Every structure is written in C-alpha cells, then in structure tokens.
Amino acid sequence: MPDLRASGQAGPPPGPPPGAPEGRGWRGGPQSLIEPLFHRPRNEPHFPYVPMIIALLASLVTAWLLAWYFAKPIRSLRAAFDDAAAGRLDTRAGPAMGRRRDELADLGKDFDRMATQLQALVEGQKRLLHDVSHELRSPLARLHAAIGLMRQRPEKAEAMIERIERESGRMDKLIGGLLTLSRLESNGDSMLKESLVLGDLAADVVEDASFEARANGKEVRLHLGCQALIKGRAELLNSAIENVVRNAVRHTAGGTSVEVVVEQSGRETARVLVRDRGPGVPDADLENIFKPFVRSSTDTSVAGHGLGLAIAQRIVLAHGGTIRAFNAPDGGLNVELRFPAVVRAI
C-alpha cells in the first residue's frame, strides 16, 4: 500500500471506527470517542434527589413525633416522682397519661396506687401520733395532780402513791401495746412459726378469762368442736385470742356468758368465734373498731385504750388469717378469727 504521508498527499478523512454509534454526528478525533459516554438523552430522568429529601424529612418528623409520644409521659412520671419525694403525696400521674393503653400508662396507674397507699400510711401515722399524745396526756395529768396533792397533804401520801402506781401501770400497758403493734407491722411476715393446736390455745385463754369474769358475775364458756392444727407463734396467737375474749368480757352484761367456739370451717380453715351479750356495735363502727385508739360510741364507759382489737387484727393478719366483727341477730357482738389450717395427711 503506498505511503501517502511520504508522497505528501493528504489521505481521506478518518471515518468512524468500527462499532462507533451511527447517527451521533461523528466528527472524528479522540473527543468524538468520549462524547457518547457522557451523552444522555433529554427524556432520561435525573438522579432522584427530591424524593430522597422528602423521605428524609418525613422520617425526621415521624421520629420527632414518636420521641414526643414516649417522652411526654416519662416526663410526667418523673415530675410525679419528684413531687412524691418532696412529700407531696397527693400528686397523681394517671391524668397525664390520657387515653394511653401501653406499659407507660400501666406504670402511671402503679404509681398512683403507690402514692395512695403511702398517703394513707403517712396520714395513719400522723393520727396515731396524735392519739398517742392524747392518750398519754391524761395519765400524765393525773400523775401530776397526784404528786401535787401529795405535797400539799402529806397525810394522803399512801392513797396518792397507789394512784401514781395505777397510772404508771396504764402508761406501761399503753406503751407495751404500741411496741407490739410496731413489731407486728415491721416483722410480721418474717416470724418463725410452729404447729399449734388451736383448741389448746383457746382453752388456755378461756381458763384465765373465766377467773376475771367470775369476779364480775359473768362466765366464759368454751365450745371445742375440733382439734385443728395451725402454724404460728403461740404467744402472739394467745395474745390475739385473749384480747378478743377480754374485750367481750368487758362488754357483756352482768349475769351473762361469753361464748368461745373453736371449729373447723372447711378442710383448710379453722376459726374461733367469740360472742358476747352486750349492746353490740353500730354498723358504721364495725370496721373502725380494729383501728388503734378507736372505740365504739357504745363503750365510752368501759376502761381501755382501744388497742386490744387492733393488736389482735395485726397478729391474725401476720398469720395469714382474717378477723371480722358483726352483730348477732338477737343482740351482742360476734368477733370471728379465721386461720389457715394445717391439712393432715390421711
């Protein structure tokens, strides 16, 4: 093939290389080989930046709404806990939960129950402190009066000393009862328990109470219907039954008897029923007579501090039992103590 460059003649213009796209305006040269790589038809869509931005903004808004939805009740709960820690126990978290039905709403309800119980406990302690102060003020005032009278009239010193001893004994019983209540409330569930025959406990109490009752023209009768076994502390159970029986002896009318019935109530429950022949208790006071220092409106003439039934209730509850009071149809008050019975193997 002749060499055109050597002869000085111009060769034909270079044509498109083999495989080059047709109809693209081939102009020759290296640039013409690069242009097709970056050439984009006008109808081909660009990279979707706008949809991605819209999706990102929607995600951010959704995340913010979710964070607000969960953070708002948490902030309300935190504020409620701060109020409770500051002593404002009347605060409640439930209203701030709105119509939520999730775990946070359940947590708000649990907080409200806790706050209600704490508020009742604190108010009860305040009432107890007030009642203790009131109950101690009276014997202390009588002690002060007796000491003053003894100084003014030495010839009555013997009588005043007896008065001082009597008032000291009352205060000792009051303080002892308060200590018993405190121990039961703090250690009631952790006490060591042993198997006991409920009928034997009741028999011991009836024997002691009968001696006191006969001195006042009254009787205490025991009706033993079973020999049920229960788990508990003998001295505490004895105290609970004794408090109920002595309360019945104080209120039953002269010439009447207090009935103490021990029987099985079902296979897993044993009960002690104590019935007196007194005036009974108004229905509105039946629940309150188990509170410390609360006395029925019908027993204002009977001596006592109003701690006996309260102690009995704490003891029964500490043994997994129940206690209730109800008026008998033909007069008098019934107090029923129920205990879980030990099921004996057959």
pLDDT, tens digit, for every residue of 87-98?
888 888 888 777
- 198 & 132 share domain: no
User: What's the pLDDT at 187?
Assistant: 63
DSSP 190: G
Checking if the pLDDT of 128 tops 80, the result is no
Residues 174 and 237 in one domain: no
Active site residue 134: yes
Among residues 138, 162, 186, the one where a domain terminates is: 186
Q: What percent of the chain has pLDDT over 90?
A: 22
Cα–Cα distance for residue pair 232/322, rounded to 1 Å? 14
Classify 191 as helix, strand or coil.
coil
> Residues 228, 316: one domain?
yes
| Percentages (nearest 5) of helix, strand, coil residues in the chain | 55, 15, 30
* Measured distance CA(282)–CA(297) in Å, rounded: 8
Q: Which domain holds residue 63?
A: 51-186
Q: Rounded CA gap, 321 and 172, in Å?
A: 29
Local structure of 305: helix, strand or coil? coil
Say whether both 103 and 240 belong to one domain: no
Query: How many domains does the chain divide into?
Result: 2
Same domain, 147 and 199: no
Indicate the pTM of the whole model: 0.60
d(CA 87, CA 81): 10
Among 186, 205, 227, the domain boundary falls at 186
133-172 pLDDT tens trace: 777 777 788 888 888 888 888 888 888 888 888 888 878 8
pLDDT at 256 over 90: yes
Contact present, 174 and 307 (Cβ < 8 Å): yes
Condensed to tens digits (0 to 9), the pLDDT of residues 44-62 reads: 555 577 888 888 888 988 8
Instruction: Point out the catalytic residue in the list 134, 144, 251, 319.
Output: 134
Instruction: Report residue 306 as tokens.
Output: 């109003």
- For residue 40, tell me if it sits in a domain: no
Residues facing residue 260 across a β-bridge: 222, 274
* Mean pLDDT of the 217-224 span: 94
263 and 166 in a single domain? The answer is no
Question: Residue 63: what residue type?
Answer: A
